[in-house]
Amino acid sequence: MDRQPDQQIANMHGTAALPRRNGELVFHDDWERRVFALAVTLCEQGHFRWDEFRKELIASIAARDNSLENTDLSNSGYYVHWLAALEKTLANIGMIPLD
Amino acid sequence: MTGDGHHHNAPPNPFLENRRNAAETRVLEERTRKLEELLVSKKLVATDALDRLVDLYENDIGPTNGAAVVARAWIDPDYRQRLLEDATAAIRELGFGGMQGEHMVVVENSPEIHNVVVCTLCSCYPWPLLGLPPDWYKDPAYRSRVAIEPRRVLKEFGLELAESTEVRVWDSSAEIRYLVLPERPEGTERYSEAGLAALVSRDAMIGVALVEPPHK
């Protein structure tokens, strides 16, 4: 396969950085893989720019950090924010209806 | 972290410390499935293409920045000195980071000393410099045998060392990651820094291979 991973996705920094263990991506559940694949594929197809998605991802993570009332959310895991950010990004461009 | 104090990397991210409960997982699965079905029904994505994409990222070997570090050390004696004294700082000079607090130590090969790196407990590895570890690095046989009979293991890699060469085995840990600075091969006096970097293999920086001269 001659396709290469997009380095702006593979090497995101800060809170948005992909969880890795000794360099390898870490997924806990299969739906996390699906969300990852959906977001990256739709971006590759040109439906949105990666920084548009990343902005929503960072915002979702930051909102979690700022929520004081629900301590359970602190352990919701990284890809919950991918799902929220993808839904938001797709709603922004009108690809899915806003809830 | 774990009881033995040995872990690969301090997680830089909100990892899940515990499994989600089943009800939470079902809700998230359902949300994801609905989204995927909607996009598939609009013919925006295809299910098998999604599988291939994840595979691509999971098997990305990543950067091999270590070769640039080695090449710089070969052409710049001052850099080489800094690298051997404080590898973490010297590597950061070149803009390579991403380690989570582990210290880098660079060990230099010479005609008298050959260095080889292992992680006997698991597979600690300087991945921001070398990309993903090769399968054999994680293999229990390599991890246990290279410490006991390094010459024999190296021979199996096709690397036969002179009897007079001392072999030093470095055991990586969560706190310290090692990188081998191989010997610069003969016949590369006129090589540019980029040309030199292209000669340096991942295996040479683990210590199971030498950097071969360009014309053999």
Task: Give mean pLDDT, residues B78-86.
Answer: 97
For the record, the structure tokens of B200 come out as 């340096």
Question: Given a cut of 90, is residue B76 above it in pLDDT?
Answer: yes
Could you tell me the pLDDT band of residue B32, with boundaries at 50, 70 and 90? very high
Q: How far apart are CA A57 and CA A15, in angstroms?
A: 9
The span from the CA of B37 to the CA of B91, in Å, is 46
Q: What is the pLDDT of residue B3?
A: 36
Q: Judge: A83–B31 Cβ closer than 8 Å, yes or no.
A: yes
- Could you confirm whether B122 is annotated as catalytic? yes
Q: Which of B41, B110, B122, B144 is catalytic?
A: B122
Question: CB–CB of B45 and A41 under 8 A?
Answer: yes
- What pLDDT is stored for residue B16 in this prediction? 59
Quote the pLDDT of residue A1. Answer: 41
CA distance B47 to A15: 29
In whole angstroms, what is the distance from residue A85 CA to residue A16 CA? 11
| CA A15 – CA B128 distance, rounded (Å) | 18
Q: What's the confidence (pLDDT) of residue A20?
A: 77
**DSSP string for A16-47:** GSPPEETTEE--SSHHHHHHHHHHHHHHHTTS
- Find the mean pLDDT for residues B128-134: 85
Which pLDDT score is estimated for A19? 82
Looking at residue A73, what is its pLDDT? Answer: 44
Listed residue (A50, A38, A27) closest to A87, CA to CA = A38
The answer to whether B119 is a known catalytic residue is yes
In DSSP terms, which residues pair with B118 in a beta bridge? B171
Instruction: Indicate whether B6 pLDDT > 50.
Output: no
**CA B129 to CA B68: how far, in whole Å?**
9
The answer to whether the Cβ–Cβ distance between B44 and A40 falls below 8 Å is no
Name residue B108's beta-bridge partners: B181
Q: Is A87 on the interface with B (CB under 8 A)?
A: yes
Q: What is the mean pLDDT of chain A?
A: 83
Give the CA radius of gyration of chain B.
21
| Nearest beta carbon to residue B15 from set A9, A26, A95 | A26
pLDDT at B197: 93
Per the model's pLDDT, the better-predicted residue between B181 and A20 turns out to be: B181
Contact B183, B114 (CB under 8 A): no
How much is the average pLDDT of B13-19?
Answer: 55
**A64 lies within 8 A of chain B by CB:** yes
Structure tokens at B140: 């229990």
**Choice among A69-83, B108-122, B170-184 with the minimum mean pLDDT:** A69-83
Please tell me the least confidently modeled range out of A24-28, B98-102, B154-158, B191-195: B98-102
Q: Tell me, yes or no, if B201 is annotated catalytic.
A: no
Task: Establish whether this prediction's ipTM goes over 0.90.
Answer: no
Q: Which of B41, B110, B123, B201 is catalytic?
A: B123
Question: Can you tell me the mean pLDDT for B1-14?
Answer: 40
Q: Mean pLDDT across the stretch B207-216?
A: 86
Mean pLDDT for chain B overall: 86
**Alpha carbon distance B31, A84 (integer Å):** 10
Q: How much is the average pLDDT of B26-41?
A: 94
